[in-house]
Each structure stands twice: as C-alpha cells, then as structure tokens.
A and B are shown apart, each in its own frame.
Chain A
Amino acid sequence: GAGVSQSPRYKVTKRGQDVALRCDPISGHVSLYWYRQALGQGPEFLTYFNYEAQQDKSGLPNDRFSAERPEGSISTLTIQRTEQRDSAMYRCASSWTSGSTDTQYFGPGTRLTVL
C-alpha cells in the first residue's frame, strides 16, 4: 500500500462527542492537506502542513477543529463537541513538496456521521 490511508473509513458518533480522524500520507511526502466534503459539493480546504509545521489553518471552521502532525508524517484531525453540521466526508491528501504545481494524492476519506 503506497497510497494515502485514512482511518477510520466510517465514523458514527453522537452529538457532543469528540472524534479523531487519522491520515497516513505517502512515505516521504512533505506536505499534507485536510479537506472536508459535504454531500453534493466539492472538497473544501481545511488546513495543511509542511513537515510538522501547520502552515495554513484558514479553512478550519471554528475552534472545535484542530489538527496536528507532530513528527511530520501521520496527522490527526480532531473535532471536539461534534455537531450534526460536522457530518461530511473528511479527505486527506499529501504531496512531495509544497509547490503549487505538485500533485496532491488523496486518500479514501473518512465518512463522519454525527447523530
């Protein structure tokens, strides 16, 4: 498996619970991105990292959302006190460099459902 992996693939949680979504990028990829995709829409940018540094978190909708990549590889997106409006597909992508022309390789996504 040389691709981007995400876990869990599906997560059902109750409103008010915290969830942690994991992304394992392609080995050696410097940049890692998180996107959120609501039903019937395209992915929307949340945040991205170069190595372990969070370079841009302008897309995080509020302070319940946070992300980390402590060792510059695996990343975790955490949503605290989940709400029904957080239900979506959460997609992770990685790229060799942070260059704007570099291809972003996407993982399979985590489908989050908040009841």
Chain B
Amino acid sequence: AQSVSQHNHHVILSEAASLELGCNYSYGGTVNLFWYVQYPGQHLQLLLKYFSGDPLVKGIKGFEAEFIKSKFSFNLRKPSVQWSDTAEYFCAVNKAAGNKLTFGGGTRVLVKP
C-alpha cells in the first residue's frame, strides 16, 4: 500500500522567510501528486498538482513544488511567506490508474507577523 510522509509536523517562521515542506511517498508505480492547504476555519483546497511534464509545478499564491522521482519526493516551496500563509498543509498522492487520495499527516505552519 502506498504511504505519504511529511517530515515536519509544525513549522514556525517569520514573514518574508522562505518555506520548504518535505513530502515523500512510497509507491513504485506512476503517481499523481497534490498539495492541499487548509486555512483556519476553511476547508481543504488545492494548492497545486503534478501528473506529468515539467517536474517543477507552480500553484496558487506563489507556491511551487518539485517532483524528484528518484527521491520519491514532492517538496513544497514558497520564497517569501506572508502572515496569511498560516495554515495546515497536506501532501497527497494517488496512483495514475486510481483516484483515491492517500494523504500525509499534515504540517502546521505558523507565520509570525
């Protein structure tokens, strides 16, 4: 069975700092990769996804992620965070031939103004 690991459970940083959240998955076949975000009081929403092509994917709100197949990783990055990026971030994966998502445990990010 596939699994997803997010290395950091909590991250605290100041505005304008750079953010990188790690995500690794275990599955040997072809996968699709997603990052979802949940802002306080809101529901999960998609930040970005990768399924083919350029392994560097750009999403909403200045986020990007890089798929490194050899490392089974899909790390999320933002060069300069804002207070409004305070949220919980979830990495998820599904098989190319399936659709049910397997999520990581999430990373809570707190951006101090």
Please report A residues at the B interface, Cβ cutoff 8 Å.
3-4, 31, 33, 35, 40-45, 48, 56, 59, 91, 93, 95, 98-109
B16 at the interface (CB under 8 A from A): no
Please report B residues at the A interface, Cβ cutoff 8 Å.
4, 6, 32, 36, 42-46, 49, 51, 90, 92, 94-106
Q: Nearest CB to that of B96 among chain A residues? A: A100
Summarize A's interface: helix, strand, loop or mixed: loop
Shortest A36–chain B CB gap in Å is 11
**10 A-B contacts, Cβ less than 8 Å apart?**
A33-B99, A40-B105, A40-B106, A41-B105, A42-B104, A42-B105, A91-B44, A100-B96, A101-B51, A106-B45
**A102/B106 in contact, CB under 8 A:** no
Partner of A42, one of B90, B94, B100: B90
| Distance between Cα atoms of A43 and B44 in the complex (Å) | 10
Other than A42-B4, A42-B103, A109-B43, give 4 A-B pairs with Cβ distance below 8 A: A40-B105, A42-B106, A100-B97, A108-B43
Q: How many A-B contacts if CB must be within 8 Å? A: 65
**B95/A45 in contact, CB under 8 A:** no
**Which A residues are CB-close (under 8 A) to B94?**
100
Q: Nearest CB to that of A41 among chain B residues? A: B105
The residue in B95, B96, B100, B104 that gathers the most chain A C-beta atoms within 10 A of its C-beta is B100
**A106/B43 in contact, CB under 8 A:** yes
Q: Nearest CB to that of A92 among chain B residues? A: B43
**A100/B99 in contact, CB under 8 A:** yes
Decide yes or no: A102 and B46 within 8 Å by CB, A42-B90, A42-B106 being known contacts. no
**Which B residues are CB-close (under 8 A) to A100?**
32, 51, 94-99
| Distance between Cα atoms of A12 and B96 in the complex (Å) | 38
| Distance between Cα atoms of A45 and B100 in the complex (Å) | 7
Partner of B99, one of A4, A42, A102, A106: A102
**Which A residues are CB-close (under 8 A) to B102?**
45
Shortest B4–chain A CB gap in Å is 7
